[in-house]
């Protein structure tokens, strides 16, 4: 087995310039390898972004239908929590939309097909309620009880749903109850606030616990409006996120009371290609698009539940990988600071192996073979090694603030500055060696007569005149001065509280 040496993991406190490995596309099955490379070339984004999102879409297609067991007592469901950290450009947003497009097309087709069935079921339910009211009005208790039980046992089927994205206002618990505990969450920057940043609020903690239980495939009992409780078996939530790099780098500002469900995620943080993108790259071949869409349709069409098991050679390789990961969890090892995430790494490796096995065993609507080969588990370990290095680098970015640019100090003052000229130096600068006084006497200043005549004897300036006495005119309630230029009277009647009283009279109301 190609073991991952410890130096490949970014050491604590390293900068974002630490070289991270590229995504091993050679480990992907041919059915998706060509599509990943084609989409990465067409969008001019790293291969890791497209590969991570494709793995998430395929995991969502088989979520809740396939599980994998390495040995008795060690099994994992097939749903993944993956996130691709990118630059947040339009190229990457379009890439995210195209990769999940097959799921949206299948969901739209199911909704259109269920529209007529929904109309019939609603009509049947209304007729049953009307019949129940007639029986209750006639006091036909045995028939009313039987009809009420029949209505309760045959509720209205919900609209089929595969995707829950950021634009949806539906509550996660309600959607899980309607879809029998299986849903795929596609998110962008909202995933940082809800899934990665976390919060200590009670409502957010309850939502995080719901994500964790569905990640582990546990049974959940949900409270619904009206006092109803819905019991779900083997729940499965698949999270596929495309997160801007700036949002991840800003997580260090939040108090680390909770980091959400970060320990469940496989993060890919490839190097940016901005400034190096090609203009007018070739588009994805139509054959690759059709092959990828057919693959997703075949995985969605799987019915029933299958439990995959490792062959002897695959189990030996996986146990060697488990031993290697365990050494990384030691106090002085690379994963010591991220023990919760490292503890889930081997389980996520099994989930990747289940997704790769289902892609290789592509059969329309049929369950895959239950034996997982050593080649598949080796490919899953190789992909897990890629996510190990990238996730550790991303977690360090979330915890540590980016380095601030060093302030630029002003240049030191040189000692060759010209001294301040003295009067003696100024005399030397004048022509013909004349002094300043001689230059001023040579050009006498011309006298300019003032525009206003000066004060005559016995007169006073305007500002020295005594102020004019003020007088109060009670009839007009206006303070006027003894001058002919009086302001016009106030139009209209004065306010009620001032009628018949001078301004300022009376007690002030508090």
- Give the span between the Cα atoms of 476 and 379, in whole angstroms: 98
Would you place residue 425 in the very low, low, confident or very high pLDDT band (cuts 50, 70, 90)?
A: low
Cβ atoms of 327 and 333 within 8 Å: the answer is yes
Nearest alpha carbon to residue 356 among 376, 375, 335: 376
What's the topology of domain 6-397? Rossmann fold (3.40.50)
How far, CA to CA in Å, does 474 sit from each of 468, 496, 501, 504? Answer: 19, 15, 7, 11
Residue range 399-422: mean pLDDT, rounded: 55
Question: Confidence class of residue 506 from pLDDT cuts 50, 70 and 90?
Answer: low
Mean pLDDT on 484-498: 61
Rounded-to-integer distance, Cα 24 and Cα 51, Å? 9
Name the DSSP letter for residue 295.
H
Whether the pLDDT of residue 408 is over 90: the answer is: no
Q: How far is CA 126 from CA 61, 115, 120, 143, 320, in A?
A: 35, 17, 10, 17, 61
Distance in angstroms (rounded) separating the CA atoms of residues 149 and 129: 12
Q: 326: how many CB neighbours lie within 10 A of its CB?
A: 14
pLDDT at 436: 46
Rounded Cα gap, residues 398 and 392, in angstroms: 10
**What is the rounded CA–CA span in Å between residue 370 and residue 68?**
9
What's this model's pTM, rounded to 2 decimal places?
0.73
What's the mean pLDDT in 201-213?
80
Q: What is the percent of the chain where pLDDT is above 90?
A: 36
Residue pair 21/4 in contact (Cβ under 8 Å)? The answer is no
Question: CA 400, 388, 210 angle in degrees (round to 5)?
Answer: 80
Taking a C-beta distance cutoff of 8 angstroms, is the pair 224, 84 a contact?
no
Question: Higher model confidence: residue 426 or residue 312?
Answer: 312
Backbone dihedral angles phi then psi of residue 18, each to the nearest 5 degrees: -65, 130
Residues 6+ apart with CB under 8 A from 322: 346
Q: State how far the Cα of 235 lies from the Cα of 290, in Å rounded to an integer.
A: 30
245: number of Cβ within 10 Å: 17
Contact residues for 459 (Cβ-Cβ < 8 A; gap 6+): none
310: β partners: 372
Q: Which two tokens stand for residue 420?
A: 């301040």
pLDDT at 456 over 60: no
């Amino acid at each position: 087995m190609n073991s991952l040496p410890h130096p490949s993991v970014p050491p604590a406190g390293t900068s974002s310039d630490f070289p991270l490995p590229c995504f091993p596309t050679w480990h992907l099955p041919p059915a998706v390898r060509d599509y990943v490379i084609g989409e990465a070339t067409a969008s001019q984004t790293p291969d890791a972004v497209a590969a991570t999102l494709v793995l998430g879409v395929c995991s969502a297609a088989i979520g809740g239908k396939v599980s994998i067991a390495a040995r008795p007592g060690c099994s994992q469901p097939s749903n993944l929590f993956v996130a691709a950290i990118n630059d947040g450009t339009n190229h990457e947003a379009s890439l995210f939309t195209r990769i999940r497009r097959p799921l949206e097309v299948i969901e739209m087709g199911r909704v259109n097909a269920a529209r007529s069935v929904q109309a019939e079921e609603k009509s049947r339910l209304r007729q049953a309620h009307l019949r129940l009211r007639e029986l209750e009005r006639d006091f036909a208790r045995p028939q009313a009880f039987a009809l009420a039980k029949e209505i309760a046992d045959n509720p209205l089927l919900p609209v089929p749903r595969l995707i829950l994205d950021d634009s949806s206002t539906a509550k996660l618990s309600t959607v899980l109850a309607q879809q029998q505990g299986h849903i795929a969450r596609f998110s962008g920057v909202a995933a940082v606030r809800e899934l990665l940043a976390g919060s200590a609020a009670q409502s957010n903690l309850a939502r995080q616990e719901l994500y964790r239980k569905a990640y582990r495939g546990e049974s959940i009992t949900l409270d619904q409006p009206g006092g109803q409780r819905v019991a779900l078996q083997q729940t499965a939530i698949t999270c596929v996120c495309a997160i801007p790099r700036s949002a991840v780098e800003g997580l260090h500002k939040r108090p680390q009371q909770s980091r959400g469900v970060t320990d469940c995620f496989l993060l890919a943080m490839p190097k940016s290609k901005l400034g190096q993108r090609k203009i007018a790259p070739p588009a994805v071949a139509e054959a690759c698009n059709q092959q990828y869409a057919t693959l997703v349709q075949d995985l969605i069409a799987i019915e029933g539940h299958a439990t995959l098991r490792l062959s002897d050679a695959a189990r030996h390789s996986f146990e060697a990988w488990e031993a290697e990961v365990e050494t990384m969890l030691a106090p002085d090892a690379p994963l010591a600071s991220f023990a919760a995430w490292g503890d889930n790494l081997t389980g996520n490796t099994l989930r990747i192996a289940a997704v790769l096995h289902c892609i290789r065993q592509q059969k329309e609507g049929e369950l895959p073979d239950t034996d997982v080969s050593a080649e598949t588990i080796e490919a899953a370990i190789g992909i897990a090694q890629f996510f190990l290095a990238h996730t550790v680098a991303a977690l360090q970015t979330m915890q540590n603030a980016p380095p601030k640019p060093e302030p630029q100090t002003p240049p030191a003052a040189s000692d060759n500055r010209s001294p301040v000229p003295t009067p003696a130096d100024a005399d030397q600068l004048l022509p013909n060696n004349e002094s300043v006084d001689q230059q001023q006497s040579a050009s006498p200043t011309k006298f300019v007569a003032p525009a206003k005549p000066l004060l005559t004897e016995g007169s006073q300036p305007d500002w020295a005149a005594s102020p004019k006495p003020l007088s109060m005119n009670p009839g007009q309630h206006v303070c006027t001065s003894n001058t002919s230029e009086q302001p016009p009277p106030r139009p209209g009647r004065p306010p009620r509280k001032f009628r018949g009283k001078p301004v300022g009279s009376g007690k002030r109301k508090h």
